[in-house]
Structure 1
Amino acid sequence: MDAPLLRCEGVRRAAAGLRGIDLDLVRGEVLAVLAPGGAGKTALLRLVAGLDRPDAGRLLLAGRDLAPLSPPRRGLSLLDPLLPERRSVQEVAGAMLPAYDVPARDRPARIARALTALGLDGQEGKPVAQLGPAARCRLAFARALAPEQPVLLLDDPLVGLDPAPRRALGFELRRLFRRLDLSVLLATREGEEAMALADRVAVIEDGEIAQCAPPRLLYEEPATAFVAGLLGENNRLPGTVEWREETECAVRLDCGPVVEARVADAGGPGSRCIVAVRPERVAVAALPAEEMGEGALPAALRDTVFLGDHVRLLLELGEGGMLVSRRPPGSRNPVPGGPASVAWDPYAAFAYRALR
């Protein structure tokens, strides 16, 4: 990896629950900090921006300690979603430039570049009050982009938008970040958004970075049950470890069957754990388990939900173990009361320590 542009070294803030954040952002990278509400991701961005001070640790930009620098002197721009209703689009887009000591002669060009990048050129004279939610979001981005600082800080930037425009604008921003080679530190509570926008995703768990990796690796090999739960849907089956080797184990599920899984952070024999497997990795057959093949388990179909691009099957495993499978439309699925069985590759299942 390249030398970090922005570095957090052991950053602590007790009031926000941050117990020691170590994180690097390299130049031209989009790094998402993913955590549920109240877990400290907004507090971390405020510390980086200089709006609050850490109890301990260091924040460095290109090797320079940020502690003595005021927010406009740090080389960072923080997106603020709040917009003044009575100002024009052009006035709002340039509102941060005086604080960054951008010369008056350079401001019109920077405003124009920012508005063009966000598709707002031609609307310079329109009052903010006349903008819809998506256009307001674009304008907030343009205002943060206009100072042209080395790092752009974004805190839940698409919050408040309906799902369809939120997804569309997210993909547009992804292209914009890469086209302009921006260095972005993004805080979000949405796993799908983090994976769509970021080159790497860092998950905060218990005030520390539990895992930081590219989206695909994080999704396919989550280090903890908490990480797995933030990134997509998971079946979570409680049980007890029967035997364990270095990388694999067998677990007797509370609902009865014994299954094999990869060891994530599960303990040794006798310890409680959770076996997690993604719904799309659960194969389903309208056959008895002995006919489906090795590793298949008998199941009973309890419900089927058609959702357009896939069908969700709710199956009961053993005594009360509930399991969801995602299947393509048109696939041959079991029928209620008929034979059914399920199976998955043990390499796609992970055994995690049981959360208290």
Structure 2
Amino acid sequence: MDGGMVAESKTQTDTLVRFQGVQKTYDGEHLVVKKLDLDIRRGEFLTLLGPSGSGKTTTLMMLAGFEVPTTGEIYLDGKPIKNTPPHKRDIGMVFQNYALFPHMTVDENLAFPLSVRKVPRSEIRERVNRALAMIKLETLAHRRPGQLSGGQQQRVALARALVFNPQLVLMDEPLGALDKRLREHMQLEIKRIHETTGITVVYVTHDQSEALTMSDRIAVFNDGVIQQIDRPDALYERPVNSFVANFIGENNVLAGAVENLEQGFCTVRLAAGGSVTATAVAVGAPGERTALSIRPERVRVLADGDAGDGPNRLPAVVKDTIYLGDHVLAVLDVAGNPEFMVKLPPGSYAGLQSERPVTITFRPEDCRALDPL
């Protein structure tokens, strides 16, 4: 079952966390988080995504209780928690550095959050065994963290955050210290555990591919403000502004000015000459500047003699072709953008020699007119 579709069908009563008018400043002058209104749905995997300094980690730390909002309120299951200490919020935490107790075995690390909550000893054993089975580390229960690999340590940290059955788990760049292959494996592992347990997860990362892989919804932060919050496919296919278009996935940008607007589309005169038709998303009146966003896989390079099937045809010059296994990346000079990218199927780039003139085409539906850069 698609997690995004489940999340979309939830009603207002399924809100587990609510940020209402939350702001945060450390120096009394500069707001790190600006008037944040955000509802987090029960059982969803929500990722807070953005560059360094965008406010995503501060938002997570306020939810965890390690930071206090300057103004506004945070509600957990309908109750305000601004004055509730972290250990009384019933929230699990997973950090990038694992934060395991080095002198304890895996078993003891998992039992610790249960013992401090006065769980009966017989139940502790049962829950620890269940957690070990969930992360597939039953045979390593008596090892200490220093005897485990980075991926194994991260699995233990994840299990420790889940073992006391919290209603919410927060993860702050938990895979940042792992190599690429192990990170990708752990992404699928965390997603599997989320789907199995149905727990609510709030996940912080600056890695957009990680966010696209794991999330039911993604909140894209920049300059202390959520720019857009939506399903991964909607963010990629329908960005609402230039920041989101450029931060999520690969993107081509062409600069121009609006010539006219009609029925949700606009004609744009390119700065380098020529005009195209685009979907009008975040544009001003005719004469005002705009930035066009086109994904590399939505562009066709026309073969010799191919007239194309759409209104948008632009001359281009091939600068480079790069073979990447599952596709070929053609780098073109298009309308003043010397790094315009087109993704092509393998074997379809014969004849695209460097400096060769070609023609490209794309549909108006695949070209979004956004705020100027």
TM-score in same-fold range (> 0.5) = yes
Question: Match of 1:331?
Answer: 348
Instruction: Check conservation: 1:30, 1:184, Cα contact below 8 A.
Output: yes
Q: Secondary structure at the match of 1:45?
A: helix
Question: Match of 2:7?
Answer: none
1:340 matches 2:358: yes
Letter in 1 for 2:165: E
Q: Secondary structure at the match of 2:158?
A: helix
CA positional deviation for 1:106:
2.7
Question: Match of 1:262?
Answer: 279
1:105 and 1:22 mapped to 2: Cα distance? 43
Question: Match of 1:351?
Answer: 369
Question: Match of 1:292?
Answer: 308
Q: How does 1:116-265 map to 2 (within 5 A)?
A: 116-245=133-262, 247-265=264-282
1:257 and 1:315 mapped to 2: Cα distance? 17
Instruction: Check conservation: 1:219, 1:232, Cα contact below 8 A.
Output: yes
Superimposed CA distance per residue, residues 66-95 of structure 1 (whole angstroms, 9 cap, x where no aligned partner): 123211211211213233333321222233
CA positional deviation for 1:322:
3.5
Superimposed CA distance per residue, residues 232-280 of structure 1 (whole angstroms, 9 cap, x where no aligned partner): 0000112222223462212222222211111222222222221111000
Superimposed CA distance per residue, residues 21-60 of structure 1 (whole angstroms, 9 cap, x where no aligned partner): 1111222111111111121111111101111110111111
TM-score by length of structure 1 reads 0.93
CA positional deviation for 1:320:
5.1
- Aligned match of 2:47 in 10, 25, 32? 32
Letter in 1 for 2:25: A
Deviates more, 1:42-51 or 1:262-271: 262-271
Letter in 2 for 1:90: D
Letter in 1 for 2:36: I
Question: Match of 2:16?
Answer: 5
- Aligned match of 1:75 in 87, 90, 94? 90
Q: Secondary structure at the match of 1:187?
A: strand
Instruction: Check conservation: 1:285, 1:334, Cα contact below 8 A.
Output: no
Deviates more, 1:35-44 or 1:320-329: 320-329
CA 1:321/1:253 → structure 2, altered by over 3 Å: closer, same or farther?
A: farther
Letter in 2 for 1:353: D
2:127 and 2:338 mapped to 1: Cα distance? 59
Question: Match of 1:88?
Answer: 105
Q: How does 1:306-325 map to 2 (within 5 A)?
A: 306-319=323-336, 321-325=338-342
Letter in 1 for 2:368: F
Deviates more, 1:243-252 or 1:207-216: 243-252
1:42 matches 2:57: yes
- Aligned match of 1:282 in 275, 285, 299? 299
- State the number of aligned residues: 354
Q: Secondary structure at the match of 2:37?
A: strand
CA positional deviation for 1:331:
1.8
Instruction: Check conservation: 1:284, 1:333, Cα contact below 8 A.
Output: no
Q: Percent identity?
A: 34
CA 1:338/1:286 → structure 2, altered by over 3 Å: closer, same or farther?
A: farther
Instruction: Check conservation: 1:286, 1:335, Cα contact below 8 A.
Output: no
Q: Secondary structure at the match of 1:96?
A: helix
CA positional deviation for 1:212:
1.2
Deviates more, 1:181-190 or 1:89-98: 89-98
1:157 and 1:270 mapped to 2: Cα distance? 47
1:223 and 1:42 mapped to 2: Cα distance? 23
Alignment gaps of 5+ in structure 1 = none
> Alignment RMSD, CA only?
1.9
2:40 and 2:118 mapped to 1: Cα distance? 25
Question: Match of 1:55?
Answer: 70
Instruction: Check conservation: 1:301, 1:334, Cα contact below 8 A.
Output: no
